[in-house]
């Protein structure tokens, strides 16, 4: 998860807690809210997403963190994309077409890239500054605390002896502080201001017990985590609010602990003790700031108002914490954003089992079922013709068609092809959403179209190219294609990947080889496992490769028998990193494909 | 020296007043026992005393010499107390001391003698 997505989900959590705190703070034990703040800290500081069906992000359906994140990362990756376009750009220049749109496209992504870089720098400097300030201030405090003097006082000595604590507590006194405090994790020290009346043992016991509760609960460590969150999320106003309120909650919870120890009847005495301490404090440094008055008042009110905690309240508290964690600290399950994908190529001798499949997925919230159509291999022409018609129909009836129409595309139903500026469209590519492409090639056509979209993924127009460019880019020439096809052959290709990172930079494209087999450019990550550019795995031709959740790639492997070729399954770990490429038999592969309900048949 | 001495500095002075001139190392050893300060802390405080003009550093061995006698500091502190809390009136302080029930018989005798001497 990125800082962005964590900020958003963290922010929402904080808002929820603010509401709950406002409603229930006097009815539930204060430590409930400390537990809730801890959940937020976990969410903010630990970049782990916990997918769950009960996540509110899944239930809401409309709002998806990952989708937002994906869109952002897609935008930022447009740089890579426009990098890929550059060769086209030069070609386009020569052909004298499509230049303007090209410019526009790089312009958009460059703009974002600049802002991204600026923000990155500003952010890092912000973190650096925050961390430095925190360390500097802490160090300054500790240096001053060093010269505190031990308190020699019989009552205090006795108290230290009898307080139940594993670590040794020191009680010391210092001139320059105005309020008792504690510091130190392994060797805790209670620091008393010099002007404190040590004879007032009632006040003393309250003060010492209060600090002891802080020490026992390791509140010093909790404050450090809060400070860390603020350093990392310095730009996030809600995190600052959390910092202030969580610190206050630490104090209030501590007060509750003291009262619990001394009994409900001690509330008034405790409150008075606090007030007299505060009095003395303010007389030396006349702050009178609204802020500290507020906090003080909040404490007194909380102490006096708090009733004894009932079992009911405790149970309600636990339920609340669990509910908030389960609903708001989880994220939408991967399934929701996963898109099945297939890229299918047809080899020249469609004889082989290669299926031609078209996968189009609705860009709606919930993905539809994949469409699969198997192609009978032998009689390429007629069946293919039927297929391409189906593709055209699908496009014609698709959501995006009204956009396409707006920009000049039309469907000639009678003749059965797509028209653009009175030319038949021979190549079409549309990246409808991150990593989800719609693409077809009908080499009968004369013109190639690539859909341009803006940062919000709305269509901005078509880039026109000539067929030579498009096919030439992939290592084919139109001649190659037509020459090679006795039967019509084309790849109706739709490639979709749920992993946006695979799409842009490792755009898997198909290129025809001389003998008509399409050569697939596998993603780079396969290379280190023995997959080579010509579709071979350790020398053996890959007949079929299956990479769940990323891309399913099938190579016709024309004429390659089961014995000579290899079926591969890509295995990944929970982080999405490849662990191995596994060789399986044809039956096993088919079983896998069936189990995954891909509908593919090899 | 007319800058006020803080408690920590008074601790250092205390050692010097008790034992006379000593090395900084010795002072830090003593104070380690008394207050738990580490050597760096003690040295920092000694340097502050030097800066305030209460202590003089002599070589060799970083010998420390008290420039201010104990009585002078006591007098200064008392005067400050009188000025701040007792409206500049020594009588009021005196009355307050007398009314404190915590005075021992010894102390009361001592005070009476003082009054005698001053009369």
Residues 6+ apart with CB under 8 A from A83: none
Confidence of residue A188 (pLDDT cuts 50, 70, 90): very high
Confidence of residue A116 (pLDDT cuts 50, 70, 90): confident
Strands A540-547 and A566-572: parallel
The stretches of B1-119 forming alpha helices (DSSP H) are: 7-19, 24-35, 39-52, 70-85, 90-99, 105-118
Q: Is pLDDT larger for residue A59 or for residue A103? A: A59
Residues 6+ apart with CB under 8 A from B64: B12, B16, B21, B22, B23, B24, B27, B46, B55, B56, B57, B58
Q: How many CB atoms lie within 10 A of CB A228?
A: 16
pLDDT digits (tens, 9 = 90+) for A518-540: 445 566 777 778 887 666 777 67
Where would I find the beta strands (DSSP E) of A381-495? 409-412, 417-420, 423-433, 436-441, 447-453, 459-466
Give A 176-215 residues with CB within 8 A of chain B.
Answer: 194
Is A147 close to B36, i.e. CB distance below 8 A? no
Confidence of residue A218 (pLDDT cuts 50, 70, 90): very high
Which residues of chain B make contact with A175, given a CB cutoff of 8 A? 6-8
Q: Is pLDDT larger for residue A506 or for residue A569? A: A569
CA distance B8 to chain A (A): 6
Is A194 close to B36, i.e. CB distance below 8 A? no
Task: For residue A131, give both structure tokens.
Answer: 């961390």
Query: Do residues A43 and A13 touch, judged by C-beta distance below 8 A?
Result: yes
pTM for this structure? 0.56
Calculate the average pLDDT of chain A: 73
- Distance from C-alpha of A305 to C-alpha of A297, rounded to nearest angstrom: 12
CA distance B110 to chain A (A): 25
pLDDT digits (tens, 9 = 90+) for A403-426: 888 888 888 888 888 888 888 888
Which residues of chain A make contact with B27, given a CB cutoff of 8 A? none
pLDDT of residue A105: 45
Query: Do residues B110 and B94 touch, judged by C-beta distance below 8 A?
Result: no
How far does Cα A194 stand from its chain's mean position? 52
CB distance from A150 to chain B under 8 Å? Answer: yes
Residues in chain B, how many?
Answer: 119
Residue A108, pLDDT > 80, answer no
pLDDT of residue A557: 52
Confidence of residue A230 (pLDDT cuts 50, 70, 90): very high
Smallest CA-to-CA distance from A343 within A521, A160, A482 is with: A521
Q: How many CB atoms lie within 10 A of CB A151?
A: 17
The DSSP code for A309 is P
Query: Do residues A495 and A440 touch, judged by C-beta distance below 8 A?
Result: no
Mean pLDDT on A1-21: 88
Divide the 119 residues of chain B into consecutive groups of 10 and give the mean pLDDT of each group: 82 93 93 92 94 90 91 86 81 78 71 69
**Closest in B7, B34, B44 to A194, CB measured:** B7
Q: Is the dihedral of CA A386, A389, A390, A391 positive or negative?
A: positive
How far CA A326 is from CA of A45, A58, A144, A329, A502, in Å, comes to 18, 12, 44, 6, 31
Query: Do residues A180 and A207 touch, judged by C-beta distance below 8 A?
Result: yes
CA distance A146 to chain B (A): 7
- Distance from C-alpha of A249 to C-alpha of A226, rounded to nearest angstrom: 12
Residues 6+ apart with CB under 8 A from A323: none
Residue A287, pLDDT > 50, answer no
Residue A298, pLDDT > 50, answer yes
Smallest CA-to-CA distance from A33 within A45, A47, A22 is with: A22
């Amino acid at each position: 998860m990125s800082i962005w997505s964590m900020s958003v989900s963290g922010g929402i959590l904080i808002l929820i807690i603010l509401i709950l705190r406002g409603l229930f703070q006097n009815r539930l034990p204060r430590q409930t809210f400390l537990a809730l703040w801890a959940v937020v800290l976990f969410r903010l500081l630990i970049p782990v997403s916990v997918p769950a069906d009960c996540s509110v992000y899944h239930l809401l359906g409309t709002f998806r963190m990952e989708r937002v994140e994906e869109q952002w990362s897609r935008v930022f990756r447009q740089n890579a994309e426009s990098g890929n376009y550059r060769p086209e750009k030069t070609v386009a220049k020569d052909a004298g077409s499509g230049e303007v749109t090209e410019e526009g496209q790089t312009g958009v992504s460059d703009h974002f890239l600049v802002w991204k870089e600026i923000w990155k720098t500003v952010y890092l400097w912000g973190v650096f500054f925050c961390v430095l300030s925190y360390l500097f201030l802490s160090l300054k405090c500790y240096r001053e605390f060093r010269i505190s003097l031990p308190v020699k006082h019989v009552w205090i000595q006795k108290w230290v002896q009898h307080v139940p604590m594993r670590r040794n507590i020191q009680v010391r006194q210092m001139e320059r502080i105005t309020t008792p405090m504690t510091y130190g994790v392994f060797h805790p020290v209670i620091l008393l201001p010099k002007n404190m009346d040590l004879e007032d043992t009632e006040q003393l016991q309250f003060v010492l017990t209060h600090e002891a509760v802080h020490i026992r609960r390791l509140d010093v460590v909790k404050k450090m985590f809060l400070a860390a969150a603020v350093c990392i999320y310095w730009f996030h106003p809600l995190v600052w609010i959390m910092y202030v309120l969580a610190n206050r909650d630490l104090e209030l919870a501590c007060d509750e602990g003291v009262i619990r120890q001394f009994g409900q009847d001690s509330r008034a005495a405790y409150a008075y003790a606090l007030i007299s301490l505060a009095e003395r404090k303010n007389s030396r440094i006349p702050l009178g700031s609204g802020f500290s008055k507020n906090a003080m008042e909040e404490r007194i009110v909380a102490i006096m108002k708090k009733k004894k905690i009932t079992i009911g309240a405790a149970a309600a508290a636990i339920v609340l914490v669990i509910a908030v964690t389960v609903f708001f600290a989880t994220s939408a399950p991967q399934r929701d954003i996963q898109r099945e994908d297939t890229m299918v190529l047809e080899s020249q001798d469609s004889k082989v089992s290669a299926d031609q499949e078209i996968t189009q997925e609705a860009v709606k919230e919930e993905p539809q079922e994949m469409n699969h159509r198997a192609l009978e291999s032998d009689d390429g022409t007629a069946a293919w013709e039927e297929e391409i018609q189906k593709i055209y129909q699908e496009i014609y009836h698709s959501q995006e068609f009204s956009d396409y129409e707006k920009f000049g595309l039309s469907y000639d139903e009678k003749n059965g092809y797509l028209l653009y500026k009175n030319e038949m469209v021979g190549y079409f590519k549309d990246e409808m959403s991150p990593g989800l492409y719609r693409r077809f090639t009908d080499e009968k056509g004369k013109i190639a179209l690539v859909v341009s979209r803006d940062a919000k993924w709305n269509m901005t127009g078509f880039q026109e190219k000539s067929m030579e460019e498009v096919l030439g880019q992939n290592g084919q020439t139109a001649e190659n294609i037509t020459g090679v096809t006795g039967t019509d052959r084309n790849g109706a290709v739709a490639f979709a990947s749920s992993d946006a990172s695979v799409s842009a930079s490792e755009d898997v494209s198909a290129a025809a080889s001389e003998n008509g087999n399409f050569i697939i450019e596998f993603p780079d990550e396969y290379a280190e496992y023995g997959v080579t550019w010509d579709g071979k795995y350790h020398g053996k031709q890959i007949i079929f490769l299956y990479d769940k959740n990323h891309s399913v790639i099938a190579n016709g492997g024309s004429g390659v028998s089961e014995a000579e070729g290899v079926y591969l399954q890509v295995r990944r770990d929970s982080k999405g990193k490849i662990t191995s490429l596994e060789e399986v038999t044809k039956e096993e592969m088919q079983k896998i494909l069936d189990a995954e309900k891909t509908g593919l048949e090899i | 020296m007319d800058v006020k001495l803080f408690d920590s500095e008074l601790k250092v002075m205390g050692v010097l007043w008790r034992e006379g001139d000593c090395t900084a190392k010795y002072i830090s050893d003593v104070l380690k026992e008394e207050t738990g300060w580490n050597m760096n802390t003690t040295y920092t405080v000694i340097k502050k005393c030097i800066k305030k003009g209460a202590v003089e550093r002599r070589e060799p061995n970083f010998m420390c010499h008290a420039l201010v006698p104990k009585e002078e500091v006591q007098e200064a502190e008392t005067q400050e107390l009188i000025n701040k809390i007792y409206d500049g009136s020594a009588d009021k302080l005196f009355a307050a001391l007398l009314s404190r029930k915590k005075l021992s018989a010894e102390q009361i005798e001592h005070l009476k003698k003082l009054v005698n001497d001053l009369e």
